Structure 1
Amino acid sequence: MFEAITKLFGSKNGHEDDDPMLDPKVCAAALLVHLSAVDGEVSVEERKTIKRTLTEHYKLSAAEVADLVALATEKDHEAVDFYGFTQTLNKLEQHEKLEIIKMMWQVVFADSENHELEDNMVWRVAELIGVSSRDRTVLRAQVRGETDDAS
């Protein structure tokens, strides 16, 4: 299994010993995993949303998403703060950063509950990766509207 994870998240230069924390997929997934648990409870809907958003955004297979979530969960447990994740995500293009914040809002609204700790985490991550308050708020409204429409 470790070989599969290494191949999936290996660097573009082919070095298998590169730190997975340099991979934006791992960082984004770790933030989503952390976000799902920040209110003290991880719902089935949140787990499904994490898998769906990662599958759709990164065009991964079910097995690749399972490996990604496993690695992200491990990295989240090892982390003491968001800096390691956001430092990597800061190198992305602005549209990619907006997509990550959108994915975060999708996880927040997956269980139809919006806890203040979830809001706070999205706000902090957005600030750390350079997404404006306006963009964060617009994305929140868009995702919440999509969630309300689906009900």
Structure 2
Amino acid sequence: MIAKLKQFLSELQATPDPETEARQLKLAAACMLMEVVFADEQMSNAEAALLPSLLQKTLDIDATEAQTLVDEATQRGQHATSLFEFTSVINDNFSVAQKQQLVLAMWQIAYADGELCRYEDQIIRRCADLLYLKHSELIQLRNQAMPH
């Protein structure tokens, strides 16, 4: 477990190439969304349909890149050791507004299947905490994402 985390972090440090760094950042964000998707141990059709468009909007990427990230994040997420490996990369590179957009996307994916399970809620709250977002921001973002 620790070895995998060290490997992931060393991969990030060993690649000063800006294009590779940008790719790792996008993958970290996609992995965070996948954590929410699989929190209830299943991906609903609504979540599967919404995930690529949320990635496109959140990361400003095209549909092909979004689908590639979904595939990679699904594989990487199965081997993830902790949320910290994703949030630390995002903290180093995202603005507060970008972090808020990511957490909003996490709430939107959590509500996509019509119900919020406690594990989805816990993961989003833990991520928001690791991203140094205020509790009031977390609640405001949740309220924006709630179906009306």
Q: TM-score, normalised by structure 2?
A: 0.82
2:18 match: 13
State the percentage of identical aligned residues. 25
* Number of positions where the alignment pairs a residue of Structure 1 with one of Structure 2: 133
Do the aligned partners of 2:44 and 2:113 also contact (CA within 8 Å) in 1? yes
Deviations 1:51-97 (A, max 9, x none): 11011222322221111111111211121111110110112211111
Distance 1:76 1:125 in 2: 15
Report 1 or 2 for greater relative contact order, CA contacts < 8 Å, sequence distance ≥ 6: 2
| Residue identity matched to 1:105 | W
Do the aligned partners of 2:58 and 2:102 also contact (CA within 8 Å) in 1? no
| Residue identity matched to 1:97 | K
* Aligned-residue RMSD, C-alpha: 2.0
2:125 match: 123
Query: CA distance change for structure 1 residues 19 and 81 in 2, over 3 Å: closer, same or farther?
Result: farther
Distance 2:45 2:79 in 1: 23
2:45 match: 44
Query: CA distance change for structure 1 residues 12 and 67 in 2, over 3 Å: closer, same or farther?
Result: same
Per the TM alignment, residue 50 of structure 1 is displaced from its structure 2 partner at its CA by 1.0
Distance 1:90 1:19 in 2: 13
Q: TM-score, normalised by structure 1?
A: 0.80
Show structure 1 runs of 5+ residues with no match.
Answer: 1-9
What SS class does the counterpart of residue 38 from structure 1 fall into? Answer: helix
Do the aligned partners of 2:128 and 2:138 also contact (CA within 8 Å) in 1? yes
Do the aligned partners of 2:110 and 2:120 also contact (CA within 8 Å) in 1? yes
1:26 match: 27
Distance 2:57 2:96 in 1: 19
1:87 match: 88
Aligned positions of 1:105-144 closer than 5 A: 105-144=107-146
Show structure 2 runs of 5+ residues with no match.
Answer: 1-14
1:70 match: 71
